[in-house]
């Protein structure tokens, strides 16, 4: 078997084992895995390193191999991206403008009472930070991530989470371009009210308009530059 095919096969086999366990549970040792798959220990370690890079398994020195937090994820961020440009920031906002209004509407249809309470808590923290002069930096990250969680579809959550994590530097640029923090908080508060009222049309339109304002601000900066 070609080395690449063997590595892929081992990775898939270990992933199948991990998928049967809960996050944090121990996997068999390197020796046991080598015996199970009839390969050498270094070959197993190579496959484990590939899985560790995606957070599927955790290798704890002196302890063992454990199921990682990303074992059931469908979408994962790429942590190795180049420095963001304004064009890439615009790409990010445009992508979010396509995805997030629909996610907001889905959240309005499928949210639970605890989802709404959690979203209000995120807003309360953002308002408190703004009043203390710390800005609303965590708001965009936490709110949009938690709104996607309120849609109660894990793939939708992973898509938004991946966009925010993989494009963290682009998000920082957005924050510097779109600086009206009080308006930002008011827009997010209206979104929570629409989700709480189970009004998917209002939630969709509020998110669409919010992201359109951000996109307009980025486009203006592109023209200036």
- CA–CA separation, 184 vs 104, rounded Å? 16
**Three-state secondary structure string covering 135-188:** CCHHHHHHHHHHHHHHCCCHHHHHHHHHHHHHCHHHHHHHHHHCCCHHHHHHHH
How confident is the model over 70-79, as pLDDT tens digits? 888 887 766 6
How confident is the model over 151-201, as pLDDT tens digits? 999 999 999 988 877 666 666 677 677 767 778 889 999 999 999 999 999
pTM above 0.85, yes or no: no
Q: How many CA atoms lie within 13 A of 161 on its CB side?
A: 15
For position 81, what pLDDT does the model report? 64
First to last CA, the chain: 54
Closest of 141, 143, 100 to residue 120, by C-alpha:
143
For position 131, what pLDDT does the model report? 58
Domains of the chain: 3-67 (1.10.10.10), 86-224 (1.20.120.530)
Q: Using an 8 Å Cβ cutoff, are 188 and 123 in contact?
A: yes
Cα 121 from chain centre: 19
Cα 147 from chain centre: 11
For position 91, what pLDDT does the model report? 86
Q: Which residues of 147-169 are buried (b: 16+ CB within 10 A; e: fewer)?
A: bbbbbeeeebbbbbbbbbebbee
Mean pLDDT of the chain: 85
List, in sequence order, every beta strand (DSSP E) within the chain: 57-60, 64-67
- CA–CA separation, 140 vs 161, rounded Å? 11
- CA–CA separation, 186 vs 191, rounded Å? 9
Which pLDDT tens digits describe the chain residue by residue (225 residues)? Answer: 445 577 788 889 999 999 899 999 999 999 999 999 999 999 999 999 989 988 899 999 889 999 999 888 887 766 666 677 778 888 888 999 999 999 999 999 999 999 999 999 988 887 776 555 555 454 556 889 999 999 999 999 999 988 877 666 666 677 677 767 778 889 999 999 999 999 999 999 999 999 998 888 888 887 665
């Amino acid at each position: 078997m070609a080395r690449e095919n063997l590595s892929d096969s081992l990775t898939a086999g270990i992933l199948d084992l991990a998928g049967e366990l809960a996050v944090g549970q121990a996997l068999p040792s390197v020796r046991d895995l080598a015996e199970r798959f009839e390969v050498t220990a270094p070959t197993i370690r190579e496959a484990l390193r590939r899985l560790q890079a995606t957070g599927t398994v955790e290798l704890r020195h002196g302890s063992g191999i454990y199921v990682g937090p990303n074992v059931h994820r469908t979408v994962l961020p790429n942590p190795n991206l180049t420095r963001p440009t304004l064009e890439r920031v615009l790409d990010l906002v445009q992508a979010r403008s396509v995805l997030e209004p629909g996610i907001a509407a889905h959240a309005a249809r499928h949210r639970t009472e605890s989802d709404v309470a959690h979203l209000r808590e995120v807003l309360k923290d953002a308002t408190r930070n703004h009043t203390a002069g710390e800005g609303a930096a965590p708001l965009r990250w936490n709110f949009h991530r938690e709104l996607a969680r309120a849609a109660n579809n894990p793939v939708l959550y992973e898509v938004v989470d991946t966009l925010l994590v993989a494009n963290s530097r682009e998000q920082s640029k957005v924050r510097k371009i779109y600086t009206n923090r009080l308006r930002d908080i008011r827009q997010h508060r209206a979104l929570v009210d629409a989700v709480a009222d189970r009004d998917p049309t209002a939630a969709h339109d509020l998110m669409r308009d919010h992201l359109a304002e951000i996109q307009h601000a980025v486009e203006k900066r592109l023209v200036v530059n």
